[in-house]
Amino acid sequence: MVTNITSFGRSGLSDWLMQRVTAVILLAYTLFMLGFFLGTSSLDYLTWTGLFQSTWMRIFSLLALLSLAAHAWIGLWTVSTDYMKATGVRLVFQAVVALALFAFVVWGVQLFWGV
């Protein structure tokens, strides 16, 4: 069995399953936020900060952020390995994507948790 060190999972099946699980988490987060916006009569600063100061919302947002990063990585890794045939170009692209996703996750943690 051939393994690739730039893949997120150990096999295509685990990548496929991770893609589906992260999609469900992102759907749940999107539906919750949509419901919050539509169900809140007066959306002001106090309501917004009250929502994001609760620990459960911070954890849910962090889970959504990590899911977004994993989902994006698997998708972009798949596209880059399918369509970028030059190894050097593909590795540079994957490195840039990985660095950007890492920076976004660190930034998101700082925003949600005030670290």
SS3 of residue 25 by DSSP: helix
Quick: pLDDT tens for 97-115.
999 999 999 999 999 888 6
- Residue spans per domain, the chain: 12-113
Residue 115 CA to residue 105 CA, distance in Å, equals 13
Q: Which ranges of the chain would DSSP assign to H, the alpha helix?
A: 12-39, 45-53, 55-83, 87-113
Question: What pLDDT shows up at residue 105?
Answer: 97
Quick: pLDDT tens for 58-109.
999 999 999 999 999 999 999 999 999 999 999 999 999 999 999 999 999 9
- Which DSSP category does 11 fall into? S
Topology of domain 12-113 in CATH is 3 helical TM bundles of succinate and fumarate reductases (1.20.1300)
pLDDT at residue 6 is higher than 60: no
pTM over 0.95: no
Question: What pLDDT shows up at residue 4?
Answer: 58
